[in-house]
Amino acid sequence: MLKFKSTLSSVLVAGAFLATSVSGAQAETLRLLTWGGYAPDNVIELFKKETGIDVEVTKSNNEDMISKLRATGGAGFDLAQPSQDRIAGAQFEYDIYKPLDLSKIEAGQFISSMLEGTKSNTTVDGKIYGVPHIWGTSGLIVDKSKAGSVKDYTDLCSDAVAGKVSYRLKRPTLIGFAFSMGMDPFAAYGDTAAYQKILDAVEAKLISCKSNVKAYWSGGDALMNLIRSGEVTAAMAWDTGGWKLNQDMADVTFVAPKSGALGWIDTFALPRKTKAEDAAYKWINFVMQPKIAAMITASAGNFTASKGADEYAEDALKARFQDSFPPEAIDNIKWYPPVPAGIEDLEGKVLDRVKAASSN
Amino acid sequence: MTGHNHFRLGLVLLMAPLLIWLLSLIFIPHIDMLFLSLSEKVAPRVYETGLSNYAAFFNEPLYWNTFARTAVMSILATFLTLLIGFPVSYYIAKMVRGRVRAFLFIMCMIPFWVSELVRTFGWMILLRETGVISSFLVFTGLSEGPVELLYNDVTIMVGLVYTSMLFMVVPLVTTLDSLDDSLVEAGYDLGGNGLRVLRKVIIPHAMPGIVSGCIVVFMLSLGNYLTPVLLGGKDSMWFTEQIYTQFITRFNWEQGAAFGFLLLILSSLIVWGGLKITRQTLSNTMG
Amino acid sequence: MSDTTRDPAIDLECRELTKYFGNFCAVDNISFSIPAGSFFSILGPSGCGKTTLLRMLAGFQEPTSGELSIKGRSMLGVPPNKRPVNMVFQHLALFPMMTVGENIAYGLECQGVDKALILQKVQSVLERVGLPDAINKKPDQLSGGQKQRIAIARCLVLEPDVLLLDEPLGALDLKLREHMKVELKQLQNQFNTTFIYITHDQSEALVMSDQVAVMNNGKFEQVGTPQELYYSPQTDFVAAFVGENNRWRASVRGAEGAVLELELPNGMTFKGTAARKEAFGAGDLVDVFVRPEAIMLSKTQVDTATFDNVLEGQVDCLLFDGANSRVLVKESNGNHEVNVTLPQTGEFNDLQEGQTIYLGWQQAQAKCFPARDFSVEE
């Protein structure tokens, strides 16, 4: 199998492989596999000034990170930022990460409840694989002037917004609809049969809802365009997207759904064949400083797990956050527990069937 | 004898870069993919050899429906490309000369100077509900409200035909160029009307170009990913999208590899069938 | 259309036919008519407009002005596939992807002839052109001459009123060309169809044709039987283009009716005839044409009583070519050269260069036209 992996990698991710094998020769470079906005240029510059280390950023998403690391057996990058719920399953199945040495991380910089939660969620065989970096939620982006009636995921299927709706065909949609339909998918994570039952109900709902959908979005920019042009008035998306739009369009903002926004935490995790481990720890400690964390918040639009960074955050962003999240909504956030191996296969088939179903 | 051997050695040396290239970039990865497609995942980190990935294709209607849909749409796209490309090619090859001809040929090529992604986004700007065409229709009063022209199968078809046009026009122009004008004139002179001359003289002559153009366009459409994904609607399924999904979002490489092989085999079968129906052989088409 | 006023025996008639390509006049106001069943050739150098004329007859080009009718029916605006004419193309244009049988059947299928009848007609025409077994062959399996016959059969099976032939012998080698000339003439007799044949080869035109039109610069110089063209050319171009000729520039010393007293630049004097009987005055320059075979060759002094013009000279050069052998004779007291046919009677087989020889020709054989500079290029 290892041989397959190495050869396949050359085909699948030839670009990444080539780029990394070339840059791997230089000693002081940190190859960071992360999300857009998580490593802004000004932070990279400050880091270089302080440590002399170059940071090379590859923008990615959860699935892509796992695919890239799986293709190379955990090589090609020195630090990755998967969501905390996607570490344990992927590690268990593909063995792509390296346990963290917590002694090299300044725990005092983290909001301790978040650090402890992430540590326990990313533990496999007693070893810890992730520490938190940025957190946020996904829920609804709504144009209140046109789709004010949308308060929960299932409202996307109401006639009021027919043809003006967009969401992704990915697992958060399944989870969100399940909660909105009064079920608790997270509680069923351990029980495949029960989980399948939930999925079946969600599948039926999504298929009947299909005629309401304008398009399934796949990239954040595509969704932004749809909403900006007014072609879509209600969508399932991340909170930052809604807040960004709110800057130009007063009516559009992020709404925490009645059944609860879905909370995620993106982490720091070491790829198994990282070549710049020290640089990786240096980066983690560097960006968790409150001032630097605030710079990242400004760029990414989401808050970090850095203790005390809120003080430095923009007031406008804080105001938007408070508008979207009244205190009871914060308590209602459904934090993703680790995804057990295997259930993504079940979800995949449901998503395929929804895509293939005819919408009439 | 020694002369012969020298020649052989020279040939081998000349061919070596090509062979190495073929072996390392095409052959070996495919062997890997074959093995991959034959391994079944029974539990995390546990694999067995078996055909279940292939069986999944035939047992799950979703998958072969997707393939059938992709194949039918690709055949239709090929046919439409031929229908539009033939008159264009005939015009370029036979009706114009010199500069105009070079100009028209370049006009056909210009869209290919930008990446497929940019071309596809171009179509999206034109066709979306708040796009250029929709706004124009509303502005001129031809339509009461905005019209969504994106996200359906017709849009995919437009995109595929547009993307493939050059690959149809080039072989057609080449074969039509070699058609002696006097054959066409003889076809008319002996009493044939335009349709008969087209059917009996021009098409038989252009057949190798038609077939090679069709094969290329069919394969390109079948293997296209961006156009169906970006222009297609919420119902549109494309087989390459399914392969991509299996590899990238499902981490199910074994299934993806099996789909990849099925695509290779089934598309080869379709091309073979097409050659049989038109009574052409691959060698006289490509030669 | 006043069909009834036309002579029914006329198959094809052109009146004031003109074709311009931009400012260039390819066919200049040509009028002629061709009787049914005749073999009519249009002879001219390349670029004279003969191909344009033929393509107008076939319908591939529309005339700029003028009238064109076949069997009394105007052909203006009638597309090629609706005209009762067929064309044998320069390179024959047999359809390479069809068999011989399919090639011949093509036109019949266009006419909607019954399938069984088509087969019958195809077989019968193949027999008539002497290739009864060729029906299933592909054109590239045939020899040049066989292809020729198939190309003609493909047209004749349609029984056209007029068959157009565009230099079809041009691509053949010499021997085959000679053979095909005879064969074409025989085929024309056999099918009794009007043939219009264009060529730049005067021998093809002379051998096969009932009537020949000599064409130059978009105009017909002269239309007539091969004999008329050969013996009584009406223009200097025809005299120069049809057959071999000695061409001299001379000045007129005196005229007596059509008979002219001429003087060459080197002082030599002789008599000639004004070809078109026009009047010349003393001092006029003329071009004189004397055919090599019209000059009598003799080893002894020629009798001035039997010939109007006599000349003594030396053999300058012997050009042996069997029946077409020539001898170049240089006049004794000047440098004037005369091209003379060498009779193959045996008498001159021992002729030597430098040998003194005597020439004689009648004044009627020296045809005079007003002097004009032009060149004849095939």
| Residue C74 three-state SS | strand
CB within 8 Å: A92 and B148: no
Round to whole Å and give the CA distance between A294 and A282. 18
Count of CB contacts below 8 A, B vs C? 64
Q: What is the DSSP letter of A152?
A: S
A 205-234 residues with CB < 8 A to B: 210, 213-216, 218, 229-231
Burial of A354 (0-12, 13-18, 19+ CB in 10 A): buried
Q: Does C93 touch chain B (CB under 8 A)?
A: yes
Kindly provide the residue ranges of all beta strands, DSSP E only, lying in A193-233, ordered along the sequence.
213-216
| Residue C281 three-state SS | coil
Q: Does B129 touch chain A (CB under 8 A)?
A: yes
Residues of B in contact with A345 (CB under 8 A): 250, 252
Sign of the torsion angle spanned by Cα atoms B199, B204, B205, B209? positive
CB within 8 Å: A92 and B44: yes
Q: Does C366 touch chain B (CB under 8 A)?
A: no
Burial of A189 (0-12, 13-18, 19+ CB in 10 A): middle
**Segments making up each domain of chain C, as ranges:** 3-238, 244-370
Confidence of residue B4 (pLDDT cuts 50, 70, 90): low
Cα B198 versus chain centre, distance? 25
Closest alpha carbon to A143 in A242, A251, A270: A251
- Helix then strand then coil, in percent of chain C rounded to 5, is 25, 35, 40
Round to whole Å and give the CA distance between A177 and A174. 5
Average pLDDT for residues C178-191, to the nearest whole number?
Answer: 88
The per-residue DSSP string of C3-58 comes to GGGS-TTEEEEEEEEEEEETTEEEEEEEEEEEETT-EEEEE--TTSSHHHHHHHHH
The pTM score is 0.81
| Residue A95 three-state SS | coil
Round to whole Å and give the CA distance between A352 and A341. 19
Residues of A in contact with B33 (CB under 8 A): 8
Output b/e per residue, C332-371; b: 16+ Cβ within 10 A: eeeebebbbbbeeeeebeebeeeeebbbbbbbebbbbbee
What contacts A93, CB < 8 A, 6 or more positions away?
A341, B44, B45, B251
Question: Bridge partners of A138?
Answer: A238, A262
Give the nearest chain B residue to C159 (CA atoms): B190
pLDDT at C377: 58
Cβ proximity of A70 and A94 under 8 Å: yes
Q: Does A342 touch chain B (CB under 8 A)?
A: yes
pLDDT at A6: 43
Average pLDDT for residues B73-102, to the nearest whole number?
Answer: 93
Compare CB distances from B190 to C90, C91, C158 and report the shortest one's residue.
Answer: C158
User: Distance of CA C26 to CAs A356, B217, C49, C164, Å?
Assistant: 68, 46, 5, 19
Residues of B in contact with C107 (CB under 8 A): 190-192
Q: Does A94 touch chain B (CB under 8 A)?
A: yes
| Residue C67 three-state SS | strand
Mean pLDDT of chain C: 89
Q: What residues in chain A have per-residue pLDDT under 50?
A: 1-26
pLDDT value at B152 more than 90: no
Round to whole Å and give the CA distance between C339 and C359. 11
Looking at this protein, which amino acid is placed at residue C192? N
CA atoms within 13 Å, Cβ hemisphere of A181: 20
The per-residue DSSP string of A127-141 comes to EE--EEEEEEEEEEE
Is it the case that chain B and chain C have 3 or more CB pairs lying under 8 Å apart?
Answer: yes
Cα B17 versus chain centre, distance? 28
Domains within chain A, CATH numbers bracketed: 29-129+263-324 (3.40.190.10), 138-261+339-356 (3.40.190.10)
Is it the case that chain B and chain A have 3 or more CB pairs lying under 8 Å apart?
Answer: yes
pLDDT value at C135 more than 90: yes
Chains in contact with B, where contact means 3 or more Cβ–Cβ distances below 8 Å, are: A, C
CB within 8 Å: C81 and B192: yes
Give the nearest chain B residue to A229 (CA atoms): B130
Q: Does B210 touch chain C (CB under 8 A)?
A: no
The residue behind tokens 């970006």 is: B230
pLDDT at A260: 92
Residues of A in contact with B245 (CB under 8 A): 348, 352
Q: Does A2 touch chain B (CB under 8 A)?
A: no
Q: Does B245 touch chain A (CB under 8 A)?
A: yes
Confidence of residue B206 (pLDDT cuts 50, 70, 90): very high
User: Among the CATH numbers 3.30.70.1230, 2.40.50.100, 2.70.70.10, 3.40.630.30, which is that of C244-370?
Assistant: 2.40.50.100
Q: Which range (A67-76, C52-61, C297-306) has the least confidence? A: C297-306
Q: What is the DSSP letter of B130?
A: T
pLDDT at A149: 92
Take residue A93 and report the two structure tokens written for it.
């199945």
Give per-residue pLDDT as tens, B156-185. Answer: 999 999 989 999 999 999 999 999 999 999
Round to whole Å and give the CA distance between A76 and C168. 74
Round to whole Å and give the CA distance between B243 and B225. 10
Reading phi first (left if > 0) and then psi (alpha if -120 to 50, else beta), residue B148 is in beta
Compare CB distances from B248 to A63, A231, A349 and report the shortest one's residue.
Answer: A63
In this prediction the ipTM stands at 0.82
CA atoms within 13 Å, Cβ hemisphere of A104: 13
Looking at this protein, which amino acid is placed at residue C355? Q
Closest alpha carbon to C95 in B199, B277, B82: B199
Average pLDDT for residues B122-133, to the nearest whole number?
Answer: 87
Q: Does C113 touch chain B (CB under 8 A)?
A: no
What is the percentage of chain B residues whose pLDDT exceeds 70? 96
- Phi, psi at C205, each rounded to 5°: -65, -45
CB within 8 Å: C107 and B190: yes
Round to whole Å and give the CA distance between A290 and C88. 93
Round to whole Å and give the CA distance between A268 and C225. 105
Closest alpha carbon to B75 in B280, B277, B235, B286: B277
CB within 8 Å: A8 and B36: yes
Cβ proximity of C47 and C60 under 8 Å: no
Give per-residue pLDDT as tens, C224-255. Answer: 999 999 999 999 999 999 988 899 999 999 88
Compare CB distances from B189 to C87, C96, C109 and report the shortest one's residue.
Answer: C87
Domains within chain B, CATH numbers bracketed: 1-37 (no CATH), 64-286 (1.10.3720.10)
Looking at this protein, which amino acid is placed at residue C334? G
Take residue B165 and report the two structure tokens written for it.
């046009």
Kindly provide the residue ranges of all beta strands, DSSP E only, lying in C217-325, ordered along the sequence.
219-224, 246-256, 259-263, 269-274, 285-290, 296-298, 309-319
Take residue C15 and report the two structure tokens written for it.
């009146």
Burial of B251 (0-12, 13-18, 19+ CB in 10 A): buried
pLDDT at C7: 52
How many other C-beta atoms can be found within 10 angstroms of the C-beta atom of residue B266? 18
Round to whole Å and give the CA distance between A135 and A303. 6
Give the nearest chain B residue to A63 (CA atoms): B249
pLDDT at C8: 53
Q: Does B6 touch chain C (CB under 8 A)?
A: no
Take residue C362 and report the two structure tokens written for it.
């009648």
Intrachain domains C3-238 and C244-370 with the same fold: no
pLDDT at A235: 95
Q: Does C110 touch chain B (CB under 8 A)?
A: yes
CATH class of C3-238: alpha beta
Confidence of residue C103 (pLDDT cuts 50, 70, 90): very high
Round to whole Å and give the CA distance between C84 and C194. 11
What contacts B271, CB < 8 A, 6 or more positions away?
B215, B218, B219
Q: Does C81 touch chain B (CB under 8 A)?
A: yes
Closest alpha carbon to A136 in A182, A84, A184, A59: A84
Strands C39-43 and C194-199: parallel
CB within 8 Å: B201 and C154: no
CB within 8 Å: B190 and C86: yes
Q: Does C87 touch chain B (CB under 8 A)?
A: yes
Round to whole Å and give the CA distance between B67 and B214. 19
A 162-201 residues with CB < 8 A to B: 170
How many other C-beta atoms can be found within 10 angstroms of the C-beta atom of residue A167? 26
